[in-house]
Amino acid sequence: MKRLELTIMVEKGENGYYVGQIVEYPAALSQGLTMEELESNLKDALKLLLQVQNEQIKQEYTNRKAVKRKVTFAI
């Protein structure tokens, strides 16, 4: 299993929910009644986002002559 260390921004909403976003993946947003629920919901949001992006990439490169390579980035 791959592990990522990501940053979340969290604020407490007026309705009592914690609202959060993954900084490295701004489209991954969610909320939860507790921090634990928020973190779980953010993980689910990130998984869904990555699945959708993966499908979009597959569709984009269907029937094209492209090379798929793995690369490691150190930032």
CATH number of the domain that 46 lies in?
Answer: 3.30.160
- Report the predicted TM-score, pTM, of the whole model to 2 decimal places: 0.82
The answer to whether residue 3 is domain-embedded is no
- The DSSP H or E segment spanning 47 is helix 35-61
Rounded to whole angstroms, how far apart are CA atoms 22 and 52? 16
Instruction: Tell which phi-psi region holds residue 33, choosing left (phi > 0), alpha (psi between -120 and 50) or beta.
Output: alpha
Domain encompassing residue 52: 8-61
If you compute the radius of gyration of the chain from its CA atoms, what whole number of angstroms results? 16
DSSP letter assigned to residue 16 = S
Give the mean model confidence (pLDDT) for residues 47-51: 97
Place 68 in a pLDDT band, splitting at 50, 70 and 90. Answer: confident
CA distances from 61 to 6, 8, 47, 72 (A): 28, 32, 21, 21
Asked if the structure places residue 21 within a domain, the reply is yes
pLDDT of residue 73: 87
The yes-or-no verdict on residue 42 having pLDDT over 80 is yes
Number of domains forming the structure of the chain? 1
**Quick one: pLDDT at residue 74?**
87
